[in-house]
Amino acid sequence: VSRFAERAVERFLSPDEREALERVLYTAERTPPGRQGHIGRDGVWAIRLLSLTGMRRDEIRDLRWEQINWRQKVLRLPDSKTGKREVVASDDVMALLGKIGQIKGHPQRGLVVCSKNGKKLHSLGATWRRVRLLAGLPDDTRIHDLRHSLASDAIMDGVPLEVVGKMLGHKNYRTTQRYAHIADYALRDAVNRTSKTIMQAGRSGSKRTSRARSSRPR
């Protein structure tokens, strides 16, 4: 069976879009039901987890409490798109999972995020469309773009492509190569910043030398 053609150009959230998204999630989490801006808490948690982990939508929707290793801060996924894998979770992710567990009464089993009847969160697509509208994000911004955005942010922070591939659970290095142009941009930016630092140091040294010469008695 032939695959659907993937979109060639990946969509990444800008810093302003990130800020708008976080503002909507923060407000929705604190808005009571029936009030404008309210969004179901499990939907908000799911989107925040997607944003922080770069995991795929079904990986978050299928995540179970028994798959969380609290001591090692690892999420053990038995059956992801690329097979069995472990997701190394950040401190922020673990704190969020701890908060969810506390609100839900510290469950030991079952889905981390779910519908009101405890089933798989099939309404996540509708939740994302509402969040996207409230945040003023363009219509072409998909929930999957949160995954691409995490990769982009990591690379711009200096994380090597190989490590980004491990963060996203890529089995094939060529899959991670789609972000190579971002790595090239980050490298060019680093080179330019380093050059400016060197040139600035050179100009500062020249000024000190000139002042020293002018202050000598004649």
pLDDT confidence tier of residue 200, bands split at 50, 70 and 90: confident
- Report the alpha-carbon distance of residue 22 to residue 48 in Å, rounded: 8
Confidence band, pLDDT 50/70/90 cuts, at residue 212: low
Residues 111 and 113: their CA atoms lie apart, in Å, by: 6
Between 198 and 188, name the one with better pLDDT: 198
Nearest CA-CA partner of 66 in 19, 127, 117, 107: 107
Higher pLDDT, 207 or 140: 140
Q: What is the pLDDT of residue 103?
A: 96
Structure confidence by residue, pLDDT tens digits, 67-91: 999 999 999 998 776 678 899 999 9
Residues 7-64: pLDDT tens digits? 555 788 998 999 999 999 999 989 988 888 889 999 999 999 999 999 999 999 999 9
Would you state the pLDDT for residue 173?
Answer: 74
Q: What pLDDT, in 10s, does the model give residues 120-168?
A: 999 999 999 999 999 999 999 999 999 999 988 888 888 888 888 889 8
Rg from Cα positions in the chain: 23
